[in-house]
Chain A
Amino acid sequence: MKSALRNAYYFTLSRYSLNPNPSLLQIAPFISTFPSLPSVLSRNHPFRSPLCATLMAGGDYDSLQTSPLEKQFEKFRVQLEDSGSLRERIRAVVLEIESATRLMQASLLLVHQSKPIPEVLQKANSQINVLKGLYNKLAEVVRECPGQYYRYHGDWRSETQMVVSLLAFMHWLETGNLLMHTEAEEKLGLNNSDFALDLEDYLVGVCFMSNEMPRYVVNQVTAGDYDCPRKVLKFLTDLHAAFRMLNLRNDFLRKKFDSMKYDLRRVEEVYYDVKIRGLATTGDSVGDQGAQKI
């Protein structure tokens, strides 16, 4: 009986020789408290017993329970290391997205210096294809663990919000309209993908875009474009009204939406300044002058 014990002890030692597991050294005292253990060992071929699942079915022999315990945790460690390395790859792609975004932003800033819009947009548009490629790269990486988009979503959330705000601003400069959620997805090449553009990211991006409006309007008026405030005011009013249709929780999106009304107010002030001084030159201002303010 003693030799069976010794065999099991040495076997487990050799099996886990690389594992700094102090609990193994305590097998001996524990075995003494479980007198039935040696008989089980001799029955079940001690050379295989630490790895044999059937031994564990007994349930009370926790000295050898470290095996399935350790196996499970070893499996966990591998899983966590894999997800860690996946996260690193995601981070690498997101950094590239960030730098492409910064280039886009830098060229869009020229619009405040009243460079002609088509010229500004051309430079910014060239980055869109870069972004498209990067987002597809990101989608490929995330596709390796299906269903876990939202596990890693935080790693690209703020960058995506910035991208959406720039795309929406560019779309507005081109067309005067709001870039829709599906249109934004198309621009980034994500419309047919399982890697979607999260709706809340899109909405926050739109709010960031509205933050740009007051500054744009002020600079346009300074440069002499007196029609701009009217267009911007109309756009922003519609946008704000549309956002009011949403029921928001008290989260980040709500805070950004709240800031939109300050942008709206700022644009209203600029519009008012231009109007009362009769600087706006469209037929609109003539019609307004004809109306009697009560």
Chain B
Amino acid sequence: MLCSSSAAIKRISVSWLIMANNSNFKSHRLSRSESSTKRPRTMSIHSSLKDAFSSYADHLNALNEKRERIVKASRDVTMNSKKVIFQVHRISKANREEVLEKAEKDLAAVRDQHISRLVKELQGTDFWKLRRAYSPGVQEYVEAATFFKFCQTGTLLNLDEINASLLPLSDPSLEPLQINLLDYLLGLADLTGELMRLAIGRISDGEVEYSERICQFVRDIYRELTLLVPLMDDGSDMKTKMDTMLQSVVKIENACFSVRVRGSEYIPLLGSSDPSSFLVGVSDVEL
């Protein structure tokens, strides 16, 4: 009894000190003896809440940090894939072999240096959960790889082929990074824009047959994709890409048409600024 009252006196004196230092009612209330039975219960509720939320915080922190690393890797993949595309655009009849050789090397470098970072981060549910973080990079890579393959062989690089090229990057015990169907199709849509630029460029260089082949190829892709776009998950970006794709197809077709119609007037090596060139009046290539 005496102990409890001396303890109570101690508590009250402490509480006056606390009150002198701050006007927080709660701490004063907790020091009251009738609240002492509440205190352990309060503390245990509070600490279990604290523990739970600190584990939630750890989980969210890990997720967000991983997401950031993936976004950074994806940006590097995008940048370097774009460089490959620009490299392939430099192609002409004269330098075909060396341009393609360099492009192949650069593409391998994108895989080894940047896509490998994505491979390290992504496992299990990450592939779909964090897809928005790495999708732009992967789309750009698909664009670059398919563009290169077309210039090399005139064929479309399959999804299976592109995924096979990524398998060596992963540890065999882990799940490999495999490009999913949606990113492949989105990348393919961007490919047609690059092919349009290539076709117009090749016509200027006099490679009309090559451009006609490109035209056929782009038409095939467009046709196949029209069947798939309505079925895609959130296909709204794909729909706008399809509109752009049709414009690209029409541009190539018009360019090929102009060459055929004015074939007799066409003199190789003249630029589009020459008034007799068939390219006068053709709308500019939009980026």
Binding site for B on A (CB under 8 A): 21, 23, 26, 30, 33, 56, 59-60, 62, 65-66, 68-70, 72-73, 76-77, 79-81, 83-84, 87, 147-151, 153, 177-178, 180-181, 199-200, 203, 238-239, 242-243, 245-249, 283-284, 287-288, 291-294
Contact between A287 and B56, CB atoms less than 8 A apart: no
Q: Is the CB of B216 within 8 A of A62?
A: yes
- CB-CB under 8 A for A199 and B60, given A65-B155, A66-B220, A69-B224: yes
Leading 5 A-B pairs by shortest Cβ distance: A80-B231, A150-B128, A150-B129, A73-B224, A59-B153
* Most A Cβ at <10 Å: residue of B50, B160, B223: B223
Majority DSSP secondary structure for residues of A touching B = helix
The answer on a CB contact under 8 Å between B220 and A246 is no
- Can you spell out 15 A-B residue pairs with CB atoms less than 8 angstroms apart? A23-B219, A62-B217, A65-B156, A68-B158, A69-B220, A76-B228, A79-B181, A147-B127, A148-B128, A151-B128, A242-B52, A245-B53, A245-B54, A248-B60, A287-B29
Report the Cα distance A149→B228, complex, angstroms.
Answer: 22
Name the residue on B nearest A63 (C-beta). Answer: B216
**A23 CA to B219 CA, complexed, in Å:** 9
Contact A287–B32 (Cβ < 8 Å): yes
Partner of B125 from A65, A149, A200 at Cβ < 8 Å: A149
Q: B228-262 toward A: CB 8 Å interface, digit per residue (1/0)?
A: 10011100000000000000000000000000000
* Across-interface contacts of A246 in B (CB, < 8 A): 53, 56-57, 60
User: Which residues from chain B sit less than 8 Å from chain A, CB to CB?
Assistant: 19, 23, 25, 28-29, 32, 34-35, 45-46, 49-50, 52-54, 56-57, 59-61, 64, 124-125, 127-129, 131, 153-156, 158-160, 181, 185, 209, 213, 216-217, 219-221, 223-225, 227-228, 231-233
B153: nearest chain-A partner, CB-CB = A59
A87 — which chain B residues lie within 8 A by C-beta?
A: 233
Closest residue of chain B to A83 (Cβ to Cβ) is: B233
**Are A242 and B50 neighbours in the complex by a CB distance under 8 Å?**
yes
CB distance from A168 to the nearest CB of B (A): 13
Residues of chain B contacted by A148 (CB below 8 angstroms): 128
Contact A60 B53 (CB under 8 A): no
Q: Is the CB of B154 within 8 A of A59?
A: yes
